[in-house]
Chains A and B, each alone.
Chain A
Amino acid sequence: AQSVTQPDIHITVSEGASLELRCNYSYGATPYLFWYVQSPGQGLQLLLKYFSGDTLVQGIKGFEAEFKRSQSSFNLRKPSVHWSDAAEYFCAVGGGSYIPTFGRGTSLIVHP
């Protein structure tokens, strides 16, 4: 069975600082990996996805993520965080006919 672990429930960063949100997955074959963001009172919006090819994936809003098969990880990064990035971030893993499984989410708090 596929699963996703987001080990950090909360992350606090200062505006302008760099960010890395961790995601580890378990999947028996080549995974399809996603990062979604949820702003308060809203549904989830896709930031980026990895299917194959280049292991460094660029997404919207200046985010990127790197797939590391050896570590079963797909960490999300941003070089300089803006106050508007404060939100809940979800990692998900899927594949072929399997509906994506989501992690518990990481809440990002941005200090001015």
Chain B
Amino acid sequence: ETGVTQTPRHLVMGMTNKKSLKCEQHLGHNAMYWYKQSAKKPLELMFVYSLEERVENNSVPSRFSPECPNSSHLFLHLHTLQPEDSALYLCASSQEGRGDEKLFFGSGTQLSVL
């Protein structure tokens, strides 16, 4: 148990559906992240929130919409996804959002887009 909880663990959705991924951290951290992990590709940083403000958005398509209502919760809202969006989506947290910090990861949501 890393202190970072992601739900659901698995999600299957059609291209016209709207769904949300949830992440919750119990570590008292101030920074939270969304990563996309596709087969045989490096982890792709999608979004970073530090002190509930988005500080980085790596050119992610608008069909992915993050929300960070407080420092403990992070959501990823999904709509009109494409099959190539099928991947493992990992949430992580750290103390302040600096590059020298240890990241704590959740177990991920395995997303399949049909």
Partner-B contacts on A (CB < 8 A): 4, 9, 32, 34, 36, 41-46, 49, 51, 90, 94-105
Contacts and interface: CB of A to CB of B under 8 A. Distances in A.
A43 B99 contact: no
Interface stretch (B12-20, B60-68, B100-108): B100-108
B48 interface: yes
Interface string B24-39: 0000000001000000
B68 to A, nearest CB: 16
B74 interface: no
Nearest to A102: B43
The binding surface of chain B is classed by DSSP as loop
Contacts of B40: 9, 104
Contacts of B69: none
B108 A32 contact: no
Nearest to B106: A43
Interface in B93-114: 97-100, 102-103, 105-108
B107 A42 contact: yes
Given A9-B40, A32-B99, A32-B100, A43 B2 contact: yes
Given A46-B103, A101-B45, 12 more contacts: A36-B105, A42-B107, A43-B90, A43-B107, A44-B90, A44-B92, A44-B103, A44-B105, A49-B102, A95-B99, A100-B99, A104-B41
A99 B42 contact: no
Contacts of B105: 36, 43-45
